[in-house]
């Protein structure tokens, strides 16, 4: 059998075997064991077969053989013969795909000649009627053309208009996105490189008929072609030749009247692209028609997005007309264009409060950023007119609108001429805005400083104008900006309007980056002087401190801030201040440190300045028998602790070892420490916060100690001989705390130490033993007070659970059992808050061992036991379980709760019947998440849920504002989250029931009720889709 | 889009629209927020919150379980009456049917043109009717959309106010060439009900009301 026959037999049965036969044949040709002529001849009988599939397969064989041949094997004559042969076969519709494969192979041969390429092109144009073929075959035809265009482009160019017209006719009616991608890229080559003078319109039409692209990418599209890909390729064709302008612009503008926002957007983007790509002389012919049409899209925009695109187009035209211009030229097309634009906009701006004023201002800014020349022309054309108009305006509202309308021009100027600190060279053309500098400075300053205090938006316009102008490089002189900074200082310090102060402060922050020295010299002293010397109402210092803190992130400024704040703190404490003001002073230091840390700065270097100072000042006054001062207030101690903790955390092991040694000397060992800067001996003698008989104030300083130790790295060994004894001491103190804050600090410290250091078998055995002992005591207690070890058990369990330690399980298990206990159940329920909540000290940042999923493991451990316990619990105890559940769900991500929602939902529903506002709020919050995330389940329980939520929305002792708000908010999610047929039956009931909350005594609740009712009202109404 | 009746109306700046003062403190900018964080002493419940120290009889120490936004102390006792500002807030955010602007920004709804009267409860009549009158100012005096706007205001108020309110929506005297005719339409129950059956009209209304905050 000859190979062709073998191939035909094999192809249907085993394509791989068939391919093998073809490859073997190719090999034989290569080795001259077979001659090409006889191979071609052997196909003869199959090619005349009546069965089209046999004809196709025979060509398939031939193509596969060709593909397998080395590209340099065939002589020019052979290539030509084969090309001719294949081109003839194009007339047979049956084997189009296979012929194309052959053509692709032959076009890849190194001796493929220019004439061959022309022959292929002509034959395809003549013989192929692509409408008859599926998209896959058409794809191959386009590939062949693409191939010959890249192999023999010059030869095809010599065909003149024949190639372009042939191509265009061939692809008419093509709709397949993958094919269009090839066609567009070929058309682009044709437009740019081929001589299409005689058939421009035809080629243009072939492209433009696809505009606008409305293709929507189908789901699971194997080719991954998006509408945007097609739009981009098509646009590249349209912008490829300036000669298209004559056809393109009129048709585009026609389509701009379309109702579809998508089409409009496409039109505007295409205009922008073409304006930038076409020659200037072409745009000079069209700017007038374009401007007339596009301006409408800005002035009457109903959609910001479209207005934005239209502004882009307006800017692109100015940019195109600016080409090669270096100075303002009165006869240039740019000048004519800008005359038209500025005239129209100035007219609109004569009435600055009218709706079209603001868009007009945006247009002016858009053309002003197109180029330096365009900027100069625009500024010179509009500013005199705007000033005159402004001077004639009498209403403040109009003056305000005018000032606002000019603002975008300042931004445009900053874009062209840069802001302070920019390194790029400014344009050679002088900044035209400079001529108006003094006048603008005066107008905007007067608006800010010289108008009535109530005119907030007018003054804001003044403020914004000054800020924007101050940014422009080389515009204002330093003394002018200095004056502006003084204005802003005054606003921040004295203005009664929040909005004014906030904006002025933001402006100072902007200027602090551009002109830092001015802020240091002017703002800082002014603000410092404003801080009072004794505690007054918080209003007298809060904004000033906040402003100082925000301005002090840079190191030199922060050093100054520290000195001033510590001085102030001295004065304030001497004046017998309450805790509020010292708290604020220290918080501002904490704020700056946090900001510095967040921005990646090393804050450990601030240790020497801050930590000894703060600890000495806190501790020393407690050693002379007095009750100390405001620094020993627990809230202030907490801030001090946070500051110390943040700084120590940033230190390395060596430095930490040193610091922790000193800290233990002060708080534990009662020996002299270098940290204490005055009265060292006195402190060593009198300060014993861990002594049993210590004062409450001394005891509370453990808050600082706990925060500091929590920040120590695990590699650092704590300086105590026997850590177990130390832990026992902490537990003992926690049984008789001086205050809740004291106990919490002790237990946190305990938890930190256990979590980080108690890992040896001996230590773990110690823990087992001591928790067993504690359990015995707790179990038999008859009141929460008697169960004094209960809190410690929770904290120990937490420390262990965080590192996924198995020792936690028995402790937690026992605590869960206690929920049944009449006397302790409530306290235990609350304790779960500690167990699952995030603690700022026991964190990864503080080097605690926090294992992945530890919270989830704990949750999964607790929930089934909780649910089981609830089922069998006495009615009185059920409440405790719900308390515990509430403590848990409030402290874990809703994702975890949702995973168990099937078992939890009944409990959540029951907890809505409890007389406890806190639990109710927590449950409703969880349910709110559930409604969107577990729609199926909620749908099953919808009736009882709605009843309970409606009940929770009516005011009484338990249903506080928070409960009512949460209930209404939850109800308002239903209509959009659940299937319409599930919710619609309740619409009437709800609409009626919600009439009551509409009359709630509280405004905020009424607001929720209104929103909720509006959502239910809209349910099932016909929606109008735009 | 059909022809626009008033293409270039005067608009107010959003920051000049009337607001309730207490609320401006709530939507604070960052620096006020920082100021608050820095200078406000945490109340004993939040920062130093300890679940194990319940004050006796206080069964729910949960109410401020340390979460951040809990410091707004809601005073549950004092009642707040529905006042003009509240009505203004309900309807000033309705969109104009032909501009992407609110009725407040277009000064169609103005605070001084809203009047709320509460009936005084008496032993004979413990739940007296209250009354709200809203006068709207069309942007131009031949505005054919005045009726639609009025209807939007009316529908919004009917949805949002408790049934004890009698709602009166009128065109402000002297601001429209056919004030009486429009007023008659707006306050005729039958006509309003009929209008609400009209699907196209309701479509327009629901777009107008979609922006209500």
Q: With H, G, I as helix, E, B as strand and everything else as coil, classify residue B132.
A: strand
Contact B63 A506 (CB under 8 A): no
Chain B: closest CA distance from residue A934 (Å): 25
pLDDT digits (tens, 9 = 90+) for A307-346: 999 999 999 999 999 999 988 888 899 999 999 999 999 9
- DSSP lists the bridge partners of residue B115 as B133
Flag if B11 and A584 touch (Cβ within 8 Å). no
Mean pLDDT of B3-9: 69
Per residue in A91-141, pLDDT (tens digit) is: 888 889 999 999 999 999 999 999 999 999 999 999 888 888 998 999 999
B31, B42, B53: residue with CB nearest A502: B31
- Cα–Cα–Cα angle for A47, A53, A54, nearest 5°? 40
**Residue A967, both tokens:** 């209930």
Cβ-Cβ contacts under 8 Å, A837 against chain B: 66
* Lookup result for tokens 């270096």: A326
Subunit contact B160:A1024, Cβ cutoff 8 A = no
Going from the C-alpha of A245 to that of each of A184, A375, A791, A1012, B60, the distances in angstroms are 18, 27, 81, 54, 76
Helix (H) or strand (E) holding A586: helix A580-598
Instruction: Tell me how close the Cα of A67 comes to any Cα of chain B, in angstroms.
Output: 60
**Angle, helix A653-664 to helix A702-710, in steps of 10 degrees:** 160
Distance from CA of A1009 to the nearest CA of B (A): 8
Query: Is A549 within 8 Å of B38 when comparing Cβ atoms?
Result: yes
Question: Do residue B31 and residue A547 have CB atoms under 8 angstroms apart?
Answer: yes
Q: Cβ–Cβ of A917/B207 closer than 8 Å?
A: no
Which of B168, B204, B198 has its CA nearest to residue B186? Answer: B168
Contact (CB, 8 A) for A291 and A276:
no
pLDDT at res. A946: 94
Orientation angle between helical segments A456-471 and A498-514, nearest 10 degrees: 0
Is A591's CB within 8 Å of B34's CB?
A: yes
**Which member of B59, B65, B199 has the closest CB to residue A1022?**
B199
Could you say which residues from 163 to 182 on chain B have a Cβ atom under 8 Å away from some Cβ of chain A? Answer: 163-164
pLDDT for residue B43: 52
Round to whole Å and give the CA distance between A503 and A458: 13
Which residue, among A366, A400, A156, A143, has the nearest Cα to A268 in the 3D structure?
Answer: A366
Q: Is A957 on the interface with B (CB under 8 A)?
A: no
> CA A993 to CA A988: how far, in whole Å?
8
**Average pLDDT estimate for B128-137:** 91
Q: Is B177 exposed, middle or buried (0-12, 13-18, 19+ CB in 10 A)?
A: middle
Please state which of the ranges A156-170, A604-618, A851-865, B9-23 shows the lowest mean pLDDT: B9-23
The pLDDT score that the predictor gives to residue A541 is 83
| Average pLDDT estimate for A409-438 | 91
pLDDT on residue B63: 34
> Beta-carbon neighbour count of residue A136 at 10 Å?
11
Task: Say if residues B153 and B109 touch (Cβ distance below 8 Å).
Answer: yes
Q: Which is nearest to A46 in space by CA: A76, A3, A14, A101?
A: A3
pLDDT of residue B1: 41
Residue of B nearest to A791 (CA): B52
Residue A628 has which token pair?
């100390």
Does residue A262 register a pLDDT over 60?
A: yes
Could you give the CA distance from residue A162 to residue A601 in angstroms, rounded to a whole number? 69
Residue of A949, A1011, A945, A1010 lying closest to A982 (CA atoms):
A945
Please state which of the ranges A207-216, A512-521, A738-747, A951-960 shows the lowest mean pLDDT: A512-521
Q: Per-residue pLDDT averaged across A642-666, rounded? A: 96
CA separation for the pair B41, A719 (Å, rounded): 35
pLDDT at B198 (0 to 100): 85
Using the Cα atoms of residue A896, residue A898, residue A903 and residue A907 in order, give the sign of their dihedral: positive
A580, B25: Cβ pair inside 8 Å? no
CB A614 within 8 A of CB A643: yes
Q: Measured at the alpha carbon of residue A775, what is the angle toward residues A771 and A780, in degrees to the nearest 5?
A: 160
pLDDT of residue B18: 81
d(CA A991, CA A998): 11
Rounded distance between C-alpha atoms, residue A362 and residue A315, angstroms: 11
Does A356 touch chain B if contact means CB atoms closer than 8 Å? yes
* Longest CA–CA separation in chain A, Å: 119
Distance CA A731, CA A770 (A): 10
What does the angle CA A965 – CA A971 – CA A977 come to, to the nearest 5 degrees?
135
Q: Which of B1, B11, B46, B62 to mutate to test the interface with A (most CBs of A within 10 A)?
A: B62
- Residue A435 reports pLDDT greater than 70: yes
Most confident of A285-289, B22-26, B95-99: A285-289
pLDDT band at A757 (very low <50, low <70, confident <90, very high): very high
Please report, for residues A770, A782, A888, the alpha-carbon distance to residue A818 in angstroms, rounded to integers and kept in the order given: 18, 12, 16
Measured CA distances, A425 to A325, A328, A375, A421, A475 (Å): 18, 20, 16, 11, 15
Q: Are A542 and B76 an interchain contact pair (Cβ–Cβ within 8 Å)?
A: no
CB contact under 8 A, B202 and A1021: yes
Tens digit of pLDDT for each residue in B42-71? 654 444 556 776 543 333 333 333 333 333
At B70 the pLDDT is 39
Answer whether A24 touches B (CB < 8 Å): no
User: Which residue do the tokens 């009917």 mark?
Assistant: B158
In angstroms, the separation between the Cα of residue B184 and the nearest Cα of chain A is 26
Question: B102 - beta bridge partners?
Answer: B95
Query: In the prediction, which pLDDT does B60 show?
Result: 35
> Do the Cβ atoms of A793 and A774 come closer than 8 Å?
yes
Q: Which of residues 521-540 of A touch B (CB under 8 A)?
A: 538
Among B34, B54, B59, the residue with its CB nearest the CB of A546 is: B34
B60 Cβ under 8 Å from any chain A Cβ: yes
DSSP H or E run through B197: helix B189-197
- C-alpha span between A636 and A642 (Å, rounded): 10
Q: What is the pLDDT of residue B9?
A: 78
Selected residues 903-922 of chain A with any CB under 8 Å from a CB in chain B:
916-919, 921-922
CA-based nearest residue to A1004, from A951, A964, A957, A946: A964
CA distance A57 to A397: 82
Coil, strand or helix at A690? coil
Query: At which residue do the structure tokens 């874990």 appear?
Result: A892
* A998 vs B31, B61, B162: nearest CB: B162
Instruction: Render pLDDT for A925-976 as a digit per residue (tens, 0 to 9).
Output: 888 888 888 888 888 889 999 999 999 999 888 899 999 999 999 999 999 8
Q: Taking CB atoms and an 8 Å limit, are A583 and B30 in contact across chains?
A: no
Q: How many CB atoms lie within 10 A of CB A805?
A: 20
Q: B39 and A541: CB-CB below 8 Å?
A: yes
Q: Is it the case that residue A721 has pLDDT exceeding 60? A: yes
A617-644 pLDDT, tens digit per residue, is 999 999 987 777 889 999 899 999 999 9
Residue B7 to residue A543, Cβ atoms within 8 A: no
* Chain B CB contacts of A916 below 8 Å: 59-60, 62
Confidence class for position A656, pLDDT limits 50, 70, 90: very high
Q: Token digits for A959?
A: 């249903």
Specify the 3-state DSSP secondary structure of A602.
Answer: coil
| pLDDT tens-digit readout, A1-39 | 678 888 888 888 888 888 898 999 999 988 888 888 888
CA end-to-end distance (rounded Å), chain B: 26
Rg (C-alpha) for chain A, rounded Å, is 41
Cβ <8 Å between A744 and B48? yes
First and final C-alpha spacing in chain A: 69
Give the mean pLDDT of chain A. Answer: 91
Mean per-residue pLDDT, B137-141:
84
Chain A residues closer than 8 Å to B32 by CB:
498, 501-502, 543, 546
**Residue B181 φ then ψ, to 5°:** -60, -45
Task: Please report the pLDDT score of residue B50 as a whole number.
Answer: 67
Whole-number pLDDT of residue B71: 39
pLDDT over 90, % of chain A: 63
Q: What is the pLDDT of residues A687-708, one digit of tens each?
A: 999 999 899 999 999 999 999 9
Spell out the CATH class of B30-209: alpha beta
The CB-side HSE value for B10 (13 A sphere, CA atoms) comes to: 14
Q: Are A699 and A738 in contact (CB under 8 A)?
A: yes
User: Which range, of A271-285, A321-335, B192-206, averages the lowest pLDDT?
Assistant: B192-206
Q: What is the model's pLDDT at position A663? A: 96
| Residue, of A411 and A919, whose pLDDT is higher | A411
* Distance in angstroms (rounded) separating the CA atoms of residues A489 and A587: 22
Other beta carbons within 10 angstroms of residue A617's beta carbon come to 19
Chain B residues with CB under 8 Å of A404 CB are 13
In this prediction the pTM is 0.73
**Could you tell me if B99 lies within 8 Å of chain A, comparing CB atoms?**
yes
Please tell me the predicted confidence (pLDDT) of residue A878: 85
């Amino acid at each position: 059998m000859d190979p062709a026959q073998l191939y035909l037999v094999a192809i249907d049965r085993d394509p791989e075997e068939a391919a093998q036969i073809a490859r073997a044949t190719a090999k034989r040709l290569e080795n001259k064991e077979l001659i090409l002529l006889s191979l071609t001849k052997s196909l003869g009988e199959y090619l005349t077969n009546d069965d089209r599939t046999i004809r196709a397969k025979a060509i398939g064989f031939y193509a596969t053989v060709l593909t397998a041949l080395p590209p340099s094997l065939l002589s020019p004559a052979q290539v030509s013969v084969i090309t001719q042969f294949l081109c003839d076969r194009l007339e047979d519709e049956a084997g189009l795909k296979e012929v194309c494969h052959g053509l692709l192979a032959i076009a890849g041969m190194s001796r493929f000649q220019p004439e061959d390429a022309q022959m292929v092109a002509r034959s395809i144009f003549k013989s192929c009627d692509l409408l008859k073929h599926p998209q896959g075959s058409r794809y191959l035809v386009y590939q062949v053309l693409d191939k010959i265009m890249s192999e023999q482009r010059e030869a095809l160019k010599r065909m003149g208009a024949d190639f372009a017209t042939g191509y265009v006719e061939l692809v008419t009616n093509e709709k397949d996105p993958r094919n269009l991608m090839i066609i567009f890229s070929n058309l682009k080559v044709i437009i740019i490189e081929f001589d299409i003078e005689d058939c421009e319109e035809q080629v243009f039409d072939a492209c433009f008929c696809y505009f606008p692209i409305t293709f929507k990418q189908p789901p699971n599209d194997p080719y991954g072609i998006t509408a945007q890909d097609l739009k981009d390729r098509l646009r590249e064709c349209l912008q490829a030749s300036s000669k298209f302008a004559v056809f393109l612009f009129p048709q585009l503008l026609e389509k701009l009247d379309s109702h579809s926002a998508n089409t409009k957007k496409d039109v505007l983007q295409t205009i922008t692209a073409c304006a930038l790509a076409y020659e200037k002389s072409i745009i000079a012919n069209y700017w007038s028609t374009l401007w007339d049409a596009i301006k409408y899209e800005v002035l009457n925009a109903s959609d910001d997005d479209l207005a934005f695109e239209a502004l882009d187009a307006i800017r692109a035209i100015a940019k195109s007309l600016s080409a090669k211009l270096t100075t303002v030229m009165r006869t240039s097309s740019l000048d004519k264009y800008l005359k038209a634009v500025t005239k129209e906009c100035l007219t609109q701006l004569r009435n600055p409060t009218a709706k079209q004023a603001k868009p007009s201002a945006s247009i002016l800014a858009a053309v002003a950023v197109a180029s330096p020349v365009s900027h100069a022309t625009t500024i010179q054309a509009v500013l005199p007119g705007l000033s005159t108009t402004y001077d004639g305006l009498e209403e403040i509202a109009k003056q305000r609108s005018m000032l606002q309308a000019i603002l975008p021009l300042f931004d445009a100027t900053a874009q062209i001429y840069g802001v302070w600190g920019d390194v790029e060279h400014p344009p050679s053309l002088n900044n035209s805005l400079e001529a108006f500098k003094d006048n603008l400075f005066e107008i905007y300053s007067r608006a800010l400083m010289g108008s009535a205090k109530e005119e907030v938006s007018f003054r804001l316009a003044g403020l914004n104008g000054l800020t924007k102008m101050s940014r422009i490089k080389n515009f204002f002189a330093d003394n002018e900006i200095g004056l502006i900074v003084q204005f802003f200082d005054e606003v921040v310090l004295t203005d009664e309007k929040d909005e004014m102060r906030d904006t002025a402060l933001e402006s100072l922050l902007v200027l602090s980056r551009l002109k830092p020295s001015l802020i240091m010299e002017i703002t800082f002293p002014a603000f410092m002087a404003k801080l009072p010397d004794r505690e007054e109402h918080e209003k007298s210092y809060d904004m000033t401190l906040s402003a100082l803190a925000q301005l002090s992130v840079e190191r030199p400024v922060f050093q100054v801030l520290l000195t001033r704040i510590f001085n102030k703190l001295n004065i304030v404490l001497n004046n017998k201040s309450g805790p509020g003001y010292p708290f604020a002073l220290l918080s501002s230091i904490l704020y700056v440190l946090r900001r510095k840390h967040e921005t990646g700065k090393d804050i450990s270097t601030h240790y020497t300045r801050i930590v000894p100072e703060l600890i000495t000042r806190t501790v020393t006054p407690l050693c002379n028998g007095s009750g100390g001062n405001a620094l020993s207030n627990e809230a202030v101690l907490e801030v001090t602790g946070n500051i110390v903790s943040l700084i120590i955390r940033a230190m390395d092991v060596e430095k930490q070892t040193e610091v922790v040694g000193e800290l233990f000397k002060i708080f534990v060992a009662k020996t002299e420490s270098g940290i204490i800067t005055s009265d060292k001996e006195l402190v060593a003698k009198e300060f014993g916060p861990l002594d049993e008989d210590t004062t409450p104030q001394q005891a509370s300083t453990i808050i600082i100690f706990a925060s500091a130790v929590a920040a120590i790295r695990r590699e650092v060994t704590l300086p105590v001989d026997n850590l177990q004894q130390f832990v026992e001491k902490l537990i003992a103190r926690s049984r008789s705390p001086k205050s809740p804050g004291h106990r919490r600090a002790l237990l946190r410290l305990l938890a930190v130490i256990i979590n980080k250091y108690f890992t040896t078998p001996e230590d773990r055995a110690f823990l087992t033993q001591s928790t067993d002992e504690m359990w015995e005591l707790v179990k038999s207690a008859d009141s929460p007070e008697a169960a004094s070890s209960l809190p410690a058990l929770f904290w120990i369990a937490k420390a262990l659970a965080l590192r996924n330690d198995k020792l936690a399980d028995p402790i937690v298990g026992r605590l869960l059992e206690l929920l049944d206990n009449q006397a302790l159940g409530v306290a235990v329920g609350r304790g779960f808050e500690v167990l699952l909540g995030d603690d700022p000290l026991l964190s990864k940042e503080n080097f605690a061992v926090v294992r992945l999923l530890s919270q989830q493991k704990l949750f999964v451990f607790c929930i089934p036991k909780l649910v089981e316990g609830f089922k069998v619990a006495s009615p009185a105890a059920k409440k405790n379980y719900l308390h515990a559940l509430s403590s848990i769900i409030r402290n874990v991500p809703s994702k975890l709760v949702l995973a168990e929602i099937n078992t939890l939902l009944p409990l959540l529903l029951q907890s809505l019947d409890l007389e406890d506002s806190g639990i109710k709020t927590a449950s409703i919050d969880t349910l709110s998440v559930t409604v969107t995330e577990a729609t199926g389940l909620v749908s099953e329980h919808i009736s009882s849920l709605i009843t309970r939520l409606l009940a929770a929305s009516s005011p009484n002792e338990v249903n506080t504002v928070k409960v009512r708000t949460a209930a209404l908010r939850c109800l308002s999610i239903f209509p959009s989250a659940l299937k319409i047929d599930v919710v619609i039956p309740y619409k009437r009931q709800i609409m009626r029931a919600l009439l009551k909350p509409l009359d709630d005594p509280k405004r905020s609740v009424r607001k929720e009720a209104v929103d909720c009712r509006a959502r239910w009202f809209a349910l099932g109404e016909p929606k109008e889709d735009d | 889009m059909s022809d626009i009746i008033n293409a270039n109306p005067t608009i107010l700046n959003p920051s000049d629209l009337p607001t309730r003062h207490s609320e401006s403190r709530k939507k604070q900018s960052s620096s006020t927020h920082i100021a608050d964080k820095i200078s406000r002493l945490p109340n004993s419940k939040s920062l130093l919150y300890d679940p194990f120290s319940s004050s006796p009889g206080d069964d729910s120490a949960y109410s401020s379980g340390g979460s951040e936004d809990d410091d707004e102390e809601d005073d549950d006792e004092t009642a707040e009456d529905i006042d003009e500002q509240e009505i203004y807030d309900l309807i000033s955010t309705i969109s104009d049917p032909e501009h992407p602007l609110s009725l407040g920004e277009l000064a169609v709804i103005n605070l001084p043109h809203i009047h709320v009267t509460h009936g005084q409860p008496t032993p004979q009549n413990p739940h007296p009717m209250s009354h709200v009158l809203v006068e709207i100012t069309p942007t131009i005096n031949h505005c054919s959309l005045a009726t639609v706007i009025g209807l939007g205001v009316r529908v919004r108020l009917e949805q949002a106010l408790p049934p004890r309110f009698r709602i009166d929506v009128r065109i402000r005297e002297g601001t429209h060439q056919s004030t009486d005719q429009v007023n008659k339409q707006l306050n005729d129950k039958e006509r309003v009900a009929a209008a609400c059956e009209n699907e196209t009209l309701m479509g327009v209304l629901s777009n107008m009301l979609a922006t209500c905050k």
